[in-house]
Amino acid sequence: MLQRGKQLYEGKAKKVFEVLGDPSKVIQSYKDDATAFNAQKRGTIVGKGIVNAKMSAMLFQLLTQKGVQNHFIELLNDTDLLTYRVEIVPLEVVIRNTMAGSLAKRLGIAEGTPLKTPIYDLHYKVDALEDPLVTEYQAEALGWATRPELDRIRSMALKVNQILLGFFDSIGIKLVDFKLEFGRMPNGEIILADEISPDTCRFWDKKTNEKLDKDRFRRDLGNVEGAYQEMLSRVSGVLSSAKI
Ligand code: TMP
Ligand code: ASP
C-alpha cells in the first residue's frame, strides 16, 4: 500500500508529498485555492482541486497513448495524482492558437483574432519577476535547459498542441492557449509534467465563445465553479478512464 510521506512543496494551486519508501515518485495534491496576477488576487474555487486532478489525469493518459511521455502514473483519489518525481525545468511553455490574454494586451491585438500558425513562447518561472518572457537563447545561455532539451521541449509542446486541439474540438471547445511545464527524470530525459486544466488553459465554447476557464475568476465573470464542472463533464464524457 502506497503511503504519503512529508510535504515537499506547497505551490499556489497544489501540494507535493513524498511517497514513503519510493524516492522516484511523488503525490501531487490539487487545491481549491486560486490566485491570479502573480497572486495579487486570491480566492477559492469550490471543487477546483477535483476538476484539475481528474482532468489532468485523463489528458495525461490520452497523451501517453499518443506517445507523449509525461509524469502521470495513477489517479489515487479525487484530488491526488501519483507521478514520477522530476526536476522541473524553470520555464513556463505557452502555446497560443488564438490571440488572447497577456499577448493580446502587449501587442494591442483583439482577443479572438485567429493566428496563422501556433505561437510558442517561453517564460522564466520566477514569481518575484512575474514570469518574464524569455528566448531560447537566454534559456540556453543561462543554463536553464540545454539546446537538445529545448529542441525536445519545443517539439513535444507542438505535438501536445496538435493532440489537444483535435481532442477539445471534438468536445465543442476551442483551445485558445495553454501553459505546459517539463521536468527532467533522473536519467536526464525530459518529460511533460505539471497539470493540464482550466487553471492552465483557455477554453472557449466553439459555438458561443463562452469562457470556460480561469479567466472567469481572473476577470470576475461569475459562474466560475460552473465553468470548471462543465469542462470536467465534457472531458469525462469522452475520456472515461479506469480510475475516474
Ligand atoms: P497569458 O495570456 O496570461 O500569458 O496566459 C497564457 C496561457 O498560460 C493561459 O492559458 C493561462 C496560462 N497561464 C498559466 O497557466 N499560468 C500563469 O501563471 C500564466 C500567466 C498563464
Ligand atoms: N497563476 C498565476 C498567479 O497566481 C497567474 C494566473 O494564472 O493568472 O498569479
Q: What CATH number should be reported for the domain holding residue 60?
A: 3.30.200.20
Per-residue pLDDT of the chain (244 residues; tens, 9 = 90+): 799 999 999 999 999 999 999 999 999 999 999 999 989 999 999 999 999 999 999 999 999 999 999 999 999 999 999 999 999 999 999 999 999 999 999 999 999 999 999 999 999 999 999 999 999 999 999 999 999 999 999 999 999 999 999 999 999 999 999 999 999 999 999 999 999 999 999 999 999 999 999 999 999 999 999 999 999 999 999 997 544 4
Answer whether residue 233 is part of any domain. Answer: no
Q: Are residues 201 and 124 in the same domain?
A: yes
User: CB of 13 within 8 A of CB of 35?
Assistant: yes
- Please indicate, yes or no, whether residues 146 and 113 belong to a single structural domain of this protein: yes
Number of domains into which the chain is organized = 2
The Å distance, Cα 200 to ligand 1 centre, comes to 6
In terms of domains, do 76 and 28 share one? yes
**25 lies in the same domain as 54:** yes
Give yes or no: residues 67 and 99 share one domain: no
Instruction: State if residue 128 touches ligand 2 by the CB under 6 angstroms criterion.
Output: no
Q: Is there a domain that residue 66 lies in?
A: yes
| Residue of minimum CA distance from atom 4 in ligand 1 | 102
My answer on whether 125 and 201 are in the same domain is yes
**234 in any annotated domain:** no
Q: How far is the CA of 130 from the centre of ligand 2 (A)?
A: 9
Range of the domain at 91: 87-222
User: Do 217 and 102 belong together in one domain?
Assistant: yes
Q: Is residue 232 part of a domain?
A: no
Q: Among all ligands shown, which has an atom nearest to the Cα of 194?
A: 1
CA 88 – ligand 2 centroid, Å: 18
- Determine, yes or no, domain membership for 237: no
* 34 alpha carbon, closest ligand: 2
Looking at the structure, tell me whether residues 96 and 194 fall in a common domain.
yes
- Closest-CA residue, ligand 2 atom 8, reads 36
In short, whether 118's Cβ falls inside 6 Å of ligand 1 is no
pTM as predicted: 0.96
Distance from the CA of 38 to the center of ligand 2, in angstroms?
5
